[in-house]
Amino acid sequence: MSDEVVHVAMFPSAGMGHLTPFLRLASLFLNNNCKVTLITPLPTVSLAESQLLDHFHSSFPQVNFIPFHLQPSSPDSVVDPFFHRVQTLRDSTNLLPPLISSLSPPITVFISDIFLLSPLISITQQLSLPNYTLFTSSASMFSFFSHFPTLAQSISDASAEISEIPVPGIAFSPLPYSSIPPILFKPTIFRNLMMEDSPNLTKLQGVFLNTFKALESHSLQALNNGEVVKGMPPVYAVGPFVPLEFEKESQKETSSESPPLTKWLDEQPIGSVVYVCFGSRTALGRDQMREIGDGLMRSGYNFLWVVKDKIVDKEDKEVGLDEVLGVELVERMKKKGLVVKEWVDQSEILSHKSIGGFVSHCGWNSIMEAALNGVPILAWPQHGDQRINAGLVEISGWGIWNKNWGWGGERVVKGEEIGDAIKEMMKNELFKVKAIELKDGGLRAISIGGDCEVTIQKLIRKWKNNV
């Protein structure tokens, strides 16, 4: 075996939901003595991303950071700023070859975000660089993504009578039409991206997923047996990714509430608190948020609720809780819970013994963090992959999902329904048992000698031997 160091270049795309898993994956390579170069698109869209990067930088000074300055592009007032960034990144990849060719030692492998697949594959092919991707959602969603061009025709032919569609690799197939992200029914950037990128998956050398066998064995087997797409490269389950020290540091900086928050959690009985958070980029309507407040109060449980009023966190700081929720509700809620409107250390919260359930939008990182901590879920998917992830939560018997709540913004779900659903989640003993079983499965996967370690070390050996 060659003694040369393995040099992994990584290229994430936009948003905490994508950056966080990239940095967690990078730490697996760093812990196995690889050299890591992180190509960092700057400026970041959100403050949370720039703070996380700063702390990653100071925790791993050996990482080579390459700032990637993007092609100028005019802001699109209609498009979500994170979607806009993905498009700009795709349009800027022509600036990449001189950057990566000049690196020393030369790059061994390139790992990029799934959203950058097609523009990058031609570059890595020209440079004869092995190209892997990190797909930041579930194996179930990856199956859907891979199979999308085949599904697309039936999706556009959708008639009222067709209510579901078989998708190989999804354990709960046939997939209800209502679980297909609505943006894929229109000629949006994401529909175009999936149509262009899915056929290019077979040109990759491999795909990393933040998941584990005990949760998604059906999808992983189907993907690796070529049942989803013929010629699919190996799909590696290397999750559940573990939150790292540097993440805590960056969260301390963003949050002024942290000490009282932890202190408050310490004072609550074991398994008694409902945690509510919709990830890093989902802002609910104010009517809906007020109903959530009402629902939490009706549930009778103590709660910790992270409110988000704007998609991008920089703007979130501009308006106070009283304005978003109303003074009366804010006052009423003080008797039963904590409501914050800032970045929290979610991983630490989910690992706290007082947390008994999680009202989640089913962003995949949140789902993996809940799995790692054995926390039952009330799934309330809002957009994108989240209904497919919610379907997995439901079929795994680890939480509930009220499908008639619709996609985010489709209807205002009333406080009474929310309160009842919270009670159902918190009281269900089977969810707790299943959540603990999954936690055990997740911990096994990341233990010494577990699937994650074995896979990463095998790959490093393969890369060292240039195969």
Per the structure block, which two tokens stand in for 298?
């009706």
* Residue 382 exposed, middle or buried by CB count within 10 Å (0-12, 13-18, 19+): buried
Quick check: 262 binds ligand UPG (CB under 6 A)? Answer: no
Separation CA 227–CA 436 (nearest Å): 30
**Nearer residue to ligand UPG within complex by CB, 172 or 190:** 190
CB nearer to ligand UPG: pick between 151 and 362: 362
Between strands 399-401 and 377-379, the pairing is parallel
The reply on whether position 16 binds ligand UPG by CB under 6 A is yes
Give dist(CA 80, CA 71) in Å, integer: 18
266-285 residues in contact with ligand UPG (CB under 6 A) are 277, 279-282
Name residues contacting ligand UPG, limited to 97-136 (CB under 6 A).
136
The answer to whether residue 113 is catalytic is yes
| 434 is an interface residue for ligand UPG by CB under 6 A | no
The residue whose two tokens read 């050299």 is 35
Contact stretch for ligand UPG (CB under 6 A) within 330-338, 342-350, 404-412, 441-449: 342-350
Catalytic entry in 7, 55, 84, 113: 113
Q: In this chain, which of 46, 250, 258, 365 binds ligand UPG, going by CB under 6 A?
A: 365
CB nearer to ligand UPG: give 108 or 219.
219
Q: How far is the CB of 250 from ligand UPG (least distance, A)?
A: 9
Q: Are 80 and 90 in contact (CB under 8 A)?
A: no
Among residues 169, 363, 399, 415, the one that binds ligand UPG under rule CB under 6 A: 363
Q: Is 84 tagged catalytic?
A: no
24 binds ligand UPG, rule: CB under 6 A: no
Q: Site for ligand UPG (CB under 6 A): which residue of 7, 11, 17, 358?
A: 17
Which of residues 201 and 460 has its CB atom nearest to ligand UPG in the complex? 201
Given the complex with ligand UPG, which of 241 and 463 has the nearer CB atom?
241
Cβ atoms within 10 Å of 101's Cβ, excluding its own: 12
Does residue 297 bind ligand UPG (CB under 6 A)? no
Residue 306 found at the interface with ligand UPG (CB under 6 A): yes
Does 241 help bind ligand UPG (rule: CB under 6 A)?
A: no
Catalytically annotated residue among 18, 55, 84, 218: 18
**Does residue 358 contact residue 375 with C-beta atoms inside 8 Å?**
yes
How many beta carbons lie within 10 A of that of residue 343, not counting itself? 24
Q: Does 289 bind ligand UPG (CB under 6 A)?
A: no
- In this structure, are residues 101 and 39 in contact, taking their beta carbons and an 8 Å threshold? no
Q: What is the C-alpha to C-alpha distance for residues 426 and 431, in angstroms, rounded to an integer?
A: 9
Choose the stretch contacting ligand UPG; rule: CB under 6 A; options: 62-70, 317-325, 344-352, 423-431.
344-352
* Of the candidate residues 46, 179, 346, 455, the single one contacting ligand UPG (CB under 6 A): 346
Q: How far is the CB of 51 from ligand UPG (least distance, A)?
A: 11
Cα 25 from Cα 407, distance rounded (Å) = 30
How far apart are CB 320 and ligand UPG at their closest, in Å?
Answer: 17
Residues found in the chain: 467
User: Quick one: 228 or 367, whose CB is closer to ligand UPG?
Assistant: 367
**29: which 2 tokens?**
């390579």
Q: Measured from the CB of residue 247, what is the shortest distance to ligand UPG in angstroms? A: 7
Region for residue 38 given its phi and psi (left: phi exceeds 0; alpha: psi -120 to 50; beta: otherwise): beta
Tell whether residue 442 is a contact of ligand UPG (CB under 6 A).
no
Binding footprint of ligand UPG, residue count (CB under 6 A): 26
Could you tell me what percentage of the chain is helix, strand and coil, using 3-state DSSP and rounding each to the nearest 5? 50, 15, 35
What b/e sequence results for 386-424 when a residue is b if at least 16 CB atoms lie within 10 Å of its CB, and e otherwise? bbbbbbbbbebbbbbbbeebebbeeeebebeebbebbbb
Measure the CA–CA gap between 295 and 290, rounded to whole angstroms: 9
Rg of the Cα atoms in the chain: 22
Interface residues toward ligand UPG, by CB under 6 A: 15-18, 20, 136-137, 277, 279-282, 306, 343-347, 363-366, 369, 384-386
Catalytic annotation, residues? 18, 113
